[in-house]
A and B are shown apart, each in its own frame.
Chain A
Amino acid sequence: MSSHSSEGDLVKHGDNYINHSAGIKSWLNTLDHKRIGMMYLFTVMIFFLIGGFFALGIRLELFSPGMQFMTPDTYNRFFTYHGAIMVFMVIIPLIPAAMGNFILPMQLGAKDVAFPRWNLVSYYIYVTGALIAASTLFLKGVDTGWTFYTPYSIRSNSSATFVLLGAFIMGFSSILTGLNFIVTIHKLRAPGLTWGRLPLFVWALYATSIIQVLATPVLAITLLLLILERTLGIGVFDPKLGGDPVLFQHFFWFYSHPAVYIMILPAMGVISELVPVFSRKPIFGYKAIAGATFGIALVSFIVWGHHLFVSGQSEFANFVFSLITMFVAIPTGVKVFSWLGTMYKGSLRFDTPMLYVFGFLFVFTIGGLTGVFLAVVSIDVHLTDTYFVIAHFHYVMVGGTIMAFLGGIHYWFPKFSGKMYHESLAKFACWLVMIGFNVTFFPQFIVGTLGMPRRYADYLPQFTNYNRASTVGSWILALGLFITAYNLFRSMKTGKAAGDNPWGGLTLEWQTTSPPPFENFKYDPVVTEGPYEYKGDRIGMGINA
């Protein structure tokens, strides 16, 4: 995407969003989308660390059958915190709120999001909700599982109410971010940036925002009803008071299934950015990918019942939900094939972000295909609520979202910081993540098919070997992630200057200095062509071109 303004010196180097104003207060009160994005990123990383701690605890306990160093109640708290933190506090805000906040307005050629003040409010709402939920770590803890199924969650003698309240509050943050993004995309595009020229990351965030805006309110009312159920005993989900516990599952998954796409669509958007840049080739099937993004978003609202195949819902409902769920696979497949089509006859570079793209394609394909297994209703009956499901959604959520996130963070790191990370260390860490991830989760497909149920503090001895492999894998994965974090943190200080456009990207965020100045561009950019017009060996219109 070329911009006329990119020729000549844009902003004198030295003035950027990081040193624009000084002091901790200038960050905490900032309305700059880039700073807010960075604040999200660091906060989310703190919770990622906590969620990861619980994950390692779970794996350590499961190293052998029998109880090792936890009581079953402790274990139940570990998996609940792992799930709740990773879902509500990490993966949902990870790409949209952290990366999206930074990149989206820049890719649009805007100075900021539409409502900067609400953007900051959204961040503080997120922090408040997260802290309320996390405060239960020092109270009685919570042992309901992140899905809060009634009536167990009504009777659970734990601090579940505060976690529900925290998730309820964080929902508003999610809604505000989504609302802000939608209006920003509609109203603040640079001249010439027509809908057909939007980067696919923007399309992905647009679809994600629509889901956030439409689905989160339903979660809000569901959690509120459950809070009232626990505090006042209103009875709507409590069979003892005449309510229907399965109704809760319908309410819950009406949000939480679309939420899965809140987690994966932005990741797909990141991949759609990376593939053309590192293949030096226009994206294959731009319209198909954008359309598939919306296809997935639309279908996401009408498939929630596939979580309830064995819940006692009617045969007819199972028929319909199984059939519709099949449709999710079609646009997903279209995307994977389109990314491969982009690489075909490209001129491929193997920088770290591209390495993560390959990793993503490898594991996400497994995650997607095993999803088809679970969509087939009879197959699901045996596999649901076993480790097969655990493996499946970790292949999608970790293999998909986290891999794409890691690819994205290496890709945009020079833009965030102006520095370059240590390339060979990053590649080494990428291999560790890839190997560790597969060693952790692949055995879980097998042990799940053999029948090992999820959320088991203890397991039968015949499952031992698979669990051991899984636990060892989790250590490799953790090591890979720590090395990545070390590399990025160190490079912020000691990394070499990256230049404004190290990858030769054509999207607008690369047409300004790194780190970007206070209002992103010195001159208002004007767009004249699509975002991925890589022709032959053209390096791009970047400043270094």
Chain B
Amino acid sequence: MTKLMLALLLSSTSITSAFAATLPVAATDVSQSWDTLYWFLIWVSGIFFVGIVLAMIIFVVKYRKEVHKKSKYIHGHTGLEIVWTVIPSILLFVMFGWGWAVYKDMIHAPSDAMEIHVIGKQWMWQFVYKNGTSSIGDLYVPLNKPVKMVMSSEDVIHSFFIPNFRVKQDVVPGMYTYVWFEAKVPGIHQIFCTEYCGTSHSGMLGRVIVLKDDQWKDWQQGKKIDVDSLPADPSFPGFRANRLGEGMPSTAGTSSTSGGQISLAEKGKALTTAKGCVACHSSDGTKIVGPSYKGIYGTDVKLADGSTVKIDENYIRESIENPTAKVVEGFPPSMPPYKGLVNEEEIMAITEYIKSLK
């Protein structure tokens, strides 16, 4: 059955292309496998829908009371009932399994993915790069390289959505969430906020600017990129992708600052001194009051209550904001909570600093 559908799907490219305009361009490999699955679902449900409607039409013609005066006295048919329970069940399991396989590719970033931090706030997207640069509204990424977004929100829940990449993820205050993609089409791609976040929700737009190698190098060196000369969003060739819709109310700025050439990790290092962290935490492996930062990122540690936890971004965030929640075995629960004393960007910088201490 499945093979037949696939054959149908492939052999009828003409029909598919007629419908293709109903999907945005697939600008990543994951999007392409998403699209294949999507068309499979369209075909299966299309066949069911046409079948049901066809049956209805046939019954209307054949069994209307004018031509079929006496109804047949039937209460059911066990065999038929089993068939129409079992066949859809099998199809549903196929859909689920296939869907799950695609999903795994969607959420698991390659280990060499470049990380970019995303901060959602009413009503703008801020992107912070490893080298300390940040930009608002426009996200600059290299072509053909996996990029992982490490996202958090400063106020309410937002959702980061790039239709051309088929990725979407809520951006939640108080925790990190992630999406990743590897853009295969240079130029501009639309970003939307898809979780309702107040007045200018519909103005909380952005653009992914996918740069070819040389442009990416230029941008990293702080050169200005002429975005308007780049190809428009391929999903809507007739329209320029919007960072801010015309006439859309938004407080989002338009700058793409590349000043302050100090890396995020360096900022974090400065902060650990400024905030007094170094009084208890060393960066060279020596034990003062609390654990040293050195080489802990990504490791599993044993906690005072006997459980183990992996040190990742969320653990570091929690240990800054609410240190006594998960205390490492052998250390006193004496650190005060820093909740409200550090902002998103600072937590991010400190996390980067800890990560950098291999």
Contact = CB atoms under 8 A, between A and B. Distances in A.
Contacts of A46: none
A330 B92 CA distance: 9
B331 interface: no
Nearest to A373: B41
Nearest to A325: B96
B166 to A, nearest CB: 4
Given A311-B172, A347-B63, A382-B34, A462 B161 contact: no
Interface string A324-348: 0011011001101110110111111
A337 B72 CA distance: 17
Contacts of A366: 49
A457 B63 contact: no
A311 B170 contact: yes
B73 A151 contact: no
A337 B99 contact: no
A242 B194 contact: no
B63 to A, nearest CB: 5
A244 interface: yes
B41 A450 contact: no
Contacts of B22: 446, 449-450
B245 interface: yes
Nearest to A239: B174
Interface stretch (B1-9, B51-59, B128-136, B222-230): B51-59
B305 interface: no
Listed residue (A283, A370, A453) with the most chain B CB atoms within 10 angstroms of its CB: A453
A155 B156 contact: yes
Contacts of B38: 373, 379
A373 B96 CA distance: 10
Given A67-B247, A345-B63, A453-B192, A459 B68 contact: no
Contacts of B339: 242
Interface stretch (B139-147, B232-240, B262-270, B294-302): B232-240
B81 A73 contact: no
Contacts of A450: 22-24, 163, 235
A280 B92 CA distance: 34
Given A377-B100, A536-B70, A348 B77 contact: no
Interface residues of B, number: 88
Most chain A beta-carbon neighbours within 10 Å: one of B85, B96, B235:
B96
A318 interface: yes
Interface string B9-30: 0000000000000111000000
A535 B106 CA distance: 56
B63 A310 contact: no
Interface in A346-391: 346-350, 358, 361-362, 365-366, 369-370, 372-373, 375-379, 381-382, 384-386
A: contact size bracket: 35 or more
Contacts of B52: 336, 340, 361, 365
A282 B77 CA distance: 12
Nearest to A244: B174
B330 interface: no
Contact of A76 (B96, B198, B246): B198
B85 to A, nearest CB: 6
B63 A348 contact: yes
Given A152-B156, A350-B64, A536 B106 contact: no
A416 interface: no
Interface in B76-111: 76-77, 80-81, 84-85, 88-89, 92-93, 95-96, 98-100, 102-103, 106-107
A365 B155 CA distance: 40
B49 A285 contact: no
B194 A453 contact: yes
A192 B335 CA distance: 73
Given A286-B76, A456-B201, A381 B70 contact: no
A377 to B, nearest CB: 5
B292 interface: no
Contacts of B37: 376, 378-379
A242 B103 contact: no
B167 A381 contact: yes
B161 A385 contact: yes
A78 to B, nearest CB: 13
Nearest to A332: B88
Given A72-B200, A450-B163, A458 B74 contact: no
B193 A536 contact: no
A282 B74 contact: yes
A340 B45 contact: no
A330 B63 contact: no
A410 B81 CA distance: 31
User: Which of B63, B202, B239 lies at the interface centre, i.e. has the most chain A CB atoms within 10 A of its CB?
Assistant: B202
B248 interface: yes
Q: Sort A-B residue pairs by CB-CB distance and give the 9 closest, nearest first.
A: A451-B163, A239-B174, A376-B99, A456-B202, A369-B45, A378-B103, A385-B194, A378-B102, A345-B72
Given A311-B172, A459-B245, 9 more contacts: A66-B247, A310-B168, A336-B52, A366-B49, A376-B96, A453-B192, A460-B239, A535-B73, A537-B70
25 contacts: A65-B247, A66-B245, A72-B199, A76-B198, A145-B196, A240-B173, A242-B339, A284-B77, A288-B76, A330-B85, A330-B88, A334-B84, A344-B63, A365-B48, A366-B49, A379-B41, A381-B167, A385-B159, A385-B195, A386-B194, A446-B22, A449-B24, A453-B161, A453-B193, A459-B202
